[in-house]
Amino acid sequence: MVITISDPLDMHLHLRDGDMLEIVAPLSSKTFSGALIMPNLVPPVTTKEAVNEYKIRIEKAKKEHTFTPYMTLFFRSDYTKEFLEEVKDDILAIKLYPAGITTNSEGGVSGFDLEELSSTLNAMSDLGIPLCVHGETGGFVMDREAEFIPIYEMLAKNFPNLKIIMEHITTKEAVAALDRYDNLYATITLHHLYITLDDVAGGLLQPHLFCKPIAKRPEDRTALLNVALGAHPKVMFGSDSAPHPRNSKEAPGCAAGVFTAPIALQALAQLFDKHGALENLQSFVSDNAKRIYGITPPSKEVVLEKSEYLVPEIYENSVVPMFAGQSLEWRVVRAG
């Protein structure tokens, strides 16, 4: 059995910088047509110059493959409308992080005070710049996303013309919120469609499956599967592929992030096939994102075949992927 996916898009991707960028950029650019690049570098990407210089480094690192890096800025509540007008054409979205909630988010926002956020959010709304959000409170780790839903609702109500993307959703509560507000959208990762907390911590601890938000309960995963496999028009694939060097993962104080970029399409094909939903993969991994963001990525056809693919144990002796050393049922036979 063979399927062809046109213009696969990854709408939430960490490419990092320096040596790690050199390792991971070609792994995404080989099979994806484009990706939304997260701005949580050290220091975060907060200026027009930083966006454009980072974009040039990505263009170099992606090698010969056709691939569009859609850039983002790290949200700051003091961005002025003049600044946003200047930077608007260089970015596709702005990413908001609550301060300290995840990797490299220390410079994020420390409260959701409407007064404080409204001038930047109104300017984004006027200029048509979407807002991507890592939606977690500082509460108990399993409850952080569900507790954040009222903040999503407050934002959706107060800024009805602002497109708000709930990034890497993990709960049934977030899935339910999608249909209550026209301007709420979501990305879903590969790993949250596959795993629950049991896979992370139910047996021997699996550091390579540890990420923020933490994987939740079976009923949460079922809710995510329903909208992803069902091609819900407001959900997009966003891998949240978040590489960390092996020694930062296999360590006390394990860094949060699952590295999935090189195996994402193969594992998605396996999942959609298993659930008899292969015909909906195109919407989830490309068409919905094109429509929601209004983008036309470079054309790329990726042919996948149902035959065994052995996932590498490690890339460049540095970064360990999800399913390392295991077999997947689908492989990429051609991309270009």
Ligand X SMILES: NC(=O)N[C@@H](CC(=O)O)C(=O)O
Which range binds Zn ion by CB under 5 A, 102-110, 183-191, 193-201, 287-295? 102-110
Q: Does 50 bind ligand X (CB under 6 A)?
A: no
Binders in 113-172 for ligand X, by CB under 6 A: 134
Q: 269: annotated binding-site residue?
A: no
Check binding of 240 to ligand X (CB under 6 A).
Answer: yes
103's contact among Zn ion, ligand X, none, with CB below 5 to 8 A by partner kind, is ligand X
Q: Which is nearer to Zn ion, 8 or 213 (CB)?
A: 213
Nearer to Zn ion, 212 or 331 (CB): 212
Count the residues of the shown chain that bind ligand X, applying the rule CB under 6 A: 12
Based on the residue annotation, tell me whether 240 is a catalytic residue of this protein: yes
Q: Is 40 annotated as a binding residue?
A: yes
66 with 32: CB under 8 angstroms? no
How far apart CA 100 and CA 133 sit, in angstroms, is 14
Contact call for residue 240 and Zn ion (CB under 5 A): yes
Q: How many beta carbons lie within 10 A of that of residue 298, not counting itself?
A: 11
Q: State yes or no: residue 11 binds ligand X (CB under 6 A).
A: no
- Say if CB 30 and CB 258 are below 8 A apart: no
Q: Does 216 bind ligand X (CB under 6 A)?
A: no
User: How many other C-beta atoms lie within 10 A of the C-beta of residue 73?
Assistant: 24
The DSSP H or E segment spanning 21 is helix 18-31
Contact status: 62 vs ligand X (CB under 6 A): no
**Quick one: which segment of 100-108, 144-152, 195-203, 223-231 binds ligand X (CB under 6 A)?**
100-108
> Residue 303 in 3-state DSSP?
strand
Residues 8, 262: Cα–Cα separation, whole Å: 13
- Burial string for 247-259 (b: 16+ CB within 10 Å, else e) reads ebbeeeeebbbbb
Cβ contact 285:13 at 8 Å: no
Give the footprint of ligand X on this chain (CB under 6 A). Answer: 14, 40, 102-104, 134, 211-212, 240, 242, 256-257
Task: List, by residue number, the catalytic residues.
Answer: 240
